[in-house]
Each structure stands twice: as C-alpha cells, then as structure tokens.
Amino acid sequence: MSTFPVLIVVSVITLLFLFKLVRKHKRDSTKNYPNGSMGFLPVIGESLSFVKAQKANRGQEWVEERVAKYGPIFKTSLMGGPTVFITGRAGTKFVLGAETEVLVPRQPVTISSIMGKHNLFEVAGTKRYKPIRQAMMSFLKPDSLQGHIKRMDSMVNARIDKDTRGKETITTLSFMKKLTFHVACQILFGITDDPTEQALYEEFGHCFEAMWSAPLNFPGTTFRKGIQARKRIVKKILPIMEKRKEQIKKGTLNPMNDVLSCMLSLETEAAENDDQEEPITMNEVIDNFVAMMIASHDSSASVLTWVIWKLAKDREIYDNVVKEQMSITDERKQRQQQGGGEADGRLTWGDVAKMKYTWRVVQEVMRVIPPFFGSFRTAIKDTSYGGYDIPKGWQVFWVAYATHMNNDIFNDPAKFDPSRFDSKSNIISPYSYLPFGAGHHTCIGLEFSRVEALVVLHHMVTKFEWSLVNSDEKITRLALPYPEMGLPINLIPKNSCWSPIP
C-alpha cells in the first residue's frame, strides 16, 4: 500500500489538532498560562525529548534548561496532555497537599491505559477511592504485616539461596526484580503457582516499559506491546479471581490472606448488598491488581539494586550495615538455642525494628537516587499557582530532585550521609523528602516496602560480600533509575553464613 494516502490522513489530522488549539487559545486568551513550549506536534508534544533525556539520566538537565528559560513553573505537553511543571518545596507542597477536589493523582494516557481506569490513582476524589484504599490498607498496615514477616523471611532466604547457588556473578537488577516480584506474588496476591508467576513476570515487564513510552498505539510500538500484555495478564488472572470469589463465598478462604482476596471480598459483599449505590466490580479489582503489582516490585528492585551498588562502593557503610545485621543474627541463634514460641530461627517484627541504621542507608540512597523522578497529578477544576492559571484537565508534574538536592533543605546534599535520617538529631521539613510521596498522598505501600527491603538486605549482607564488575556503570531511567548494564556483581559467599532451620 502506498504511503502517500497515509501521509495525507496524518497531515489532515495534525492540521485539525492545530486548528483546535488555535481556537482554544483565542477563547482562553484572558488566562495567564505559564511560559513554555507545547512541542511541534499535538498530543506527542515534548514526550519524545523527555523520555530520551530520562533514558540518558538527563531528566534533571531537561527540567533545568526549561526552568532557566521559562522559570520554576513552566508548561509543556507530555504523554498526551498539556502539563505544568512545578519545582521546589513550596510547589511540591501545593501539588501533594492539594485536596482531591482540586488535583487528583490521575495519570497520563499511557499509564492509565496500562493500569486501567479503575485503579486507585484514577478513582481518587470519587466514592470508589475510600473502600478500595481501605481494602488495600487492611492488609498493608503494620499490625497486619507482622503476621507475614516470618513467611517473608523464609521465602526471601530460600529464593536467594536458589538464585545464587553455584553462581560467582549475578546481574543485580534482574535478580532483585525476580525476587521482589516473587514476594509480591506470594505475599501480596497469594499467587503460589510458579508457571503463573513466570508468565506474569514477563507480561508485566512489557507493561512497565509501555507506561513511559510515547502514546502511539500502532503495531510494533512499545505502547501497543504493553496494551497487548495487559490483555494477556487479565486473561491469566481472571480464572484465579473467580475461584477465589467462590472460596470466599463458601467461607473456605480468609479474605485477609492477601490484598487480592481483600479486594475480592469487597466485590463479593457488594454483589450481595442490593442497597449499595455503586457496587465494586471485577473490573475495579483487576485494575487495582495490575496497578499494585506494577507499583509493588519494580521500584523496590531499583532501590535494592542501588543499595547493593552503594555497599560495594563504600566499605565503611557496608561494615556498619553488616555489624547491625550480624548482631540480629546472633540474637536469632540465641533464641533458637533457648527454645520457646519465637525460637524457630526466623526474623521477627522486633528484629526488623532494630534495623535502624540499615534503613537510614536505604533512605539516603533514595534521596540521592530517587526511585521516581516525579509524578503526575491532574486538575479536575480550574486552579492557579504562583500567579499562573492551571486549567481543568491539565496535568501537573512535581519533581523530586528539586528538594532532595537542595542545599537549603539538606546540608551538603552531594554527600552520602545516612545520619541525616536520624530523627533524634535531624528534622526534615515536610514535602522535602519524596520517595514515597508526602502528606495524604503518601504511598500506602511504604511499610511493606520498608520491611521487604530490610529482610532482603539482611540475607544479602549476612550471606555475601560482593564487588562491582563495572565500577563506573552509568544510570539510565525508564521511569525508574536503573544501572545501564543491570549492575553485575561478583559474589563472595561468607563461610560463616548461618541459616535457620527451615
């Protein structure tokens, strides 16, 4: 088929978009929009240059170039929609502190298409937000997680042993991705079948790549591959959900076993309650499963990879972490020798609570290399900030590095210093430290992520020492920061490694 007719169609569509934009500009000429460029092509805008900069770890420079040209508040077009960038602590407070009647955490079309329009971000500000969030929090709150700590410890211990057995070198990023996905499947969603887990792992990989791609739904594009992968995920998980629903109805499955069962129990209760105005649907459960699976493992894998990198680069930090973790191992040995209800040799909630220095190291890694460059919000009514109008429907993007590396907020921000997170001696201003968001938009999975990271690091540092294969490996970003080559490391098993009785 000739490409000439296609070019004509594309040209006509582009001209129509431009005509619409010109008309809209004339209608809204009384508004004071931020300065900036919306890009040459409608819809695509500056998406391609932004994604290119992110992949080269030049996202900060991309923003700073526009801040220097337009100011700390500027407009552009990203991921299919007009977008206002807001930088600095005051701007972050405005975005993350805004009520859901003004700004909601709805995502660009590329992200919402993969996660689904009923996920927790998309329903913020509606009646559906509270029950769905409560279902997730009923499992993710600390007192619920306490009951799963020993299972997580055994699972992580066994998986690390399995995936490192006989290996002198591992690629840290893929190792951590598979490990955190395994924990998410088993602990969060109750998926214990290995073939199902492996199939889902591959499909979610396509989904994650698609979320920060250009919104081009054509054969061969990254976005199209992500859409198709999501369809296969839904097809795979639906029979599992239907079976769980029946078990919950019969009373043979405890809804508190995992997050997925918690959500399905709401769906089941809603179906049996004729008085409920907006019953929870299977589509809502599916979308939140997809969204939470994406959120629950890739960010943790990225953070853990960079902690492993830092421990390899800084012997003093590594030795301090090992000292803390070995003291906990010694206490576990003593408990097992003394016997009693807690004497099965596995980590307890109290053990995790003692990992204070290790957690401060993780926090400092997330400050220096934020897991998220920033995030989108959407204005659901006309609003304004800094003297500029933000129309209803526009996206708003806040940036993490603008506060994380600000000398007025963190003393000597380029220095790696875990002690800055010692709450007894330092107070960090609200809306300044943002790996988990802030205010009432703080990530609901914070506590789960903390526990998971500490359990993984406990086993890594008590089992191994390691060195970097490539000491000068660069950072690339595909939404999250990754080592360019996946951070291969040389493993050195510790002869004194002790494992509890399985």
- pLDDT averaged over every residue in the chain: 86
Report the C-alpha gap between 368 and 371 in whole angstroms: 9
Residue 13 has pLDDT above 70, yes or no: no
Q: Are 411 and 420 in contact (CB under 8 A)?
A: yes
Residue 4 has pLDDT above 60, yes or no: no
Residue 19 has pLDDT above 60, yes or no: no
Report the C-alpha gap between 66 and 52 in whole angstroms: 16
Q: What is the pTM of this model?
A: 0.87
Catalogue the long-range contacts made by 45-53 (C-beta closer than 8 Å, 24 or more residues apart).
Answer: 45/76, 45/77, 45/78, 45/82, 45/83, 46/76, 46/77, 46/78, 47/77, 47/78, 47/79, 47/80, 47/214, 47/215, 48/214, 50/76, 50/78, 51/212, 51/213, 51/214
Closest among 398, 399, 415 to 407, alpha carbons compared? 415
Mean pLDDT score, 211-232: 90
Q: For residue 125, name the pLDDT band (cuts at 50, 70, 90).
A: confident
Give the Å distances, CA to CA, from 211 to 48, 69, 293: 13, 28, 14
Mean pLDDT score, 272-292: 76
Structure letter (DSSP) for residue 409: T
Report the C-alpha gap between 425 and 358 in whole angstroms: 17
Q: For residue 438, name the pLDDT band (cuts at 50, 70, 90).
A: confident
Window from 36-45, 198-207, 313-322, 366-375 with minimum mean pLDDT: 36-45
Give the Å distances, CA to CA, from 180 to 201, 300, 399, 485, 498: 11, 7, 26, 19, 23
The burial class, CB within 10 Å (0-12 / 13-18 / 19+), for 227 is middle
Mean pLDDT score, 228-236: 97
For position 137, what pLDDT does the model report? 86
For position 215, what pLDDT does the model report? 78
Q: What percent of the chain has pLDDT over 70?
A: 88
Per-residue pLDDT tens digits for 106-115? 777 888 899 9
Window from 136-145, 344-353, 421-430 with minimum mean pLDDT: 421-430
Q: For residue 43, name the pLDDT band (cuts at 50, 70, 90).
A: low
For position 361, what pLDDT does the model report? 98
For position 22, what pLDDT does the model report? 46
Higher pLDDT, 345 or 399: 399
| The pair of three-digit structure tokens given for residue 348, joined into one six-digit string | 């307890």
Residue 446 has pLDDT above 80, yes or no: yes
Residue 185 has pLDDT above 80, yes or no: yes
Residue 95 has pLDDT above 70, yes or no: yes
Report the C-alpha gap between 226 and 217 in whole angstroms: 10
For position 42, what pLDDT does the model report? 62
Q: For residue 264, name the pLDDT band (cuts at 50, 70, 90).
A: confident
For position 384, what pLDDT does the model report? 95
Q: Are 113 and 99 in contact (CB under 8 A)?
A: no
443 is in an annotated binding site: yes
- The distance of Cα 121 from the centroid of its chain, to the nearest Å, equals 12
For position 10, what pLDDT does the model report? 44
Window from 43-52, 140-149, 191-200, 274-283 with minimum mean pLDDT: 274-283
Give the Å distances, CA to CA, from 468 to 122, 261, 475: 41, 41, 14
Give one DSSP letter per residue of 122-174, joined into a string. TTTTSTTHHHHHHHHHHHHSHHHHGGGHHHHHHHHHHHHHHHHTT-SEEEHHH
Mean pLDDT score, 53-62: 90
Higher pLDDT, 387 or 6: 387
Q: For residue 29, name the pLDDT band (cuts at 50, 70, 90).
A: low
Strands 395-399 and 81-86: parallel
Per-residue pLDDT tens digits for 68-86? 999 999 999 987 789 999 9
Higher pLDDT, 323 or 21: 323
Q: Are 352 and 333 in contact (CB under 8 A)?
A: no
Residue 1 has pLDDT above 90, yes or no: no
Sheet with 103-104, side-by-side order of all strands:
73-78, 81-86, 395-399, 374-379, 103-104
| The pair of three-digit structure tokens given for residue 279, joined into one six-digit string | 């019953």
For position 271, what pLDDT does the model report? 52
Higher pLDDT, 439 or 407: 407
